[in-house]
Amino acid sequence: MNDPRLTPARPDVAAKHLEGKVEAARFVAGEEFEISGALAPLRRAPSSDAELLTQALKGERVTIYDRNSEGWAWGQLNSDGYVGWLPDQALKKPAGQPTHQVTALLTLAFPGPSIKLPPVETLAMGSLLTVRRDEGSFAVTGEGWYLPRQHLGPIEHHASDFVAVAEMFVGTPYLWGGKSSLGVDCSGLVQISLAAAGVTCPRDSDMQQEGLGQALDRNDRKNLRRGDLIFWKGHVAIARDAETIVHANAYHMATKIEDTREAITRIKASGSGVTAIKRLSQAASSASAVDL
C-alpha cells in the first residue's frame, strides 16, 4: 500500500510516473522549483493553520504538481520524498546547482561586506547556497548576500560524527514538524544530523525505524554505542554513549541530553516501551557498556 506521506497522488491529481499505479482524475509531469526563503512549511492542507508536516530549507528542490488560487502549491520534496502543501511565495525556479551548505546551527546573511549592516535573512544548518565569490571574510551568494565564510562548507562537506551535530541542538525548542535550530522534533533532529554527515535519512521516526541501520535486540541495552538509534512508538533518540541519549522531545519541550535508563522508564510509564534499537554502519562504535 502506498504511503500517502511519500506518494504524490490525490483523487483529482497525481504524478505522471504513477499513472497505472494509482487512480486519479489527471496525471501531471510536475515542475521543479527550489525553496527561496530560509524555511518553508510543508503542511497537510493548503492553509496556514494546517498541521506542519515538515520544513524545507533554503535551496531544497521540490517537484510541484498542483497549485490553487489561494497561494498554495502541492508537491514532493526531492530530498526525502515528503508530500504536502507549500506557500507558493516560498518557491522560485532553480538558478543553478548549489555549491555550499550552511554548517553552523544558524547564520546571518548581510546585504554587504559588513557585520554592522542589518541582516536580510537567517539561514539554518543544511541550507543550500550558490556562492559566486569570496570577498574578505564573506562568501557572496547568487542573491548578493554576504555570509560569514566560516559558517559555510562545500556541498560535499560531511561531518565526521552525526551525534556531535545532534548535540549542537541541545536547548533548541521542540517544534512538531520542525527541522532547524529555531525548532525541531525528534525525527527532524535525526534527519538533520545524519544529513550533515552525508547520510540520506527518511523524515518520520517510523520510516527511520523501518529504513535505517541493523536491528539489535531491543531488550539487550547493555551494549549501546554512540550513534545507535532508540525507537519508541512515535519517538526516536540518539545514543551518545552507553548511558546517555540526545533527543528532541515534548516532555522537556526542547532538545535534551538525558540519562538513557531514566528516559526509557519515563516514556514506558507514559505508555510506550522501546520498539527497536538500530545500529548505523556510519556511527561511532566506541562506548563503554552499562547494564540498562
pLDDT at 285 exceeding the cut of 50: no
For position 292, what pLDDT does the model report? Answer: 34
Are 27 and 70 in contact, with CB atoms under 8 Å apart? no
Query: Region 110-136: what's the mean pLDDT?
Result: 98
For position 221, what pLDDT does the model report? Answer: 76
Query: Region 70-83: what's the mean pLDDT?
Result: 98
Strands 27-28 and 14-15: parallel
Q: Tell me: the pLDDT tens digits for 139-180?
A: 999 999 999 999 999 999 999 999 999 999 999 999 999 999
pLDDT at 286 exceeding the cut of 80: no
For position 120, what pLDDT does the model report? Answer: 98
pLDDT at 281 exceeding the cut of 50: yes
For position 1, what pLDDT does the model report? Answer: 64
Q: What percent of the chain has pLDDT over 90?
A: 92
Alpha-carbon span 157 to 203, nearest angstrom: 21
Are 198 and 165 in contact, with CB atoms under 8 Å apart? no
Q: CA-CA distances (angstroms) from residue 71 to 12, 40, 48, 87, 284?
A: 18, 13, 11, 6, 45
For position 95, what pLDDT does the model report? Answer: 84
Of residues 95 and 44, more confidently modeled: 44
Contacting residues for 114 by C-beta, under 8 A, at least 6 apart? 146
Q: Tell me: the pLDDT tens digits for 12-27?
A: 999 999 999 999 999 9
pLDDT at 223 exceeding the cut of 90: no
Query: Region 185-200: what's the mean pLDDT?
Result: 97
Query: Region 224-235: what's the mean pLDDT?
Result: 97
State the chain's mean pLDDT as an integer.
94
The candidate with the shortest Cα–Cα distance to 72, out of 46, 35, 90, 94, is 46
Query: Region 253-270: what's the mean pLDDT?
Result: 97
pLDDT at 283 exceeding the cut of 70: no
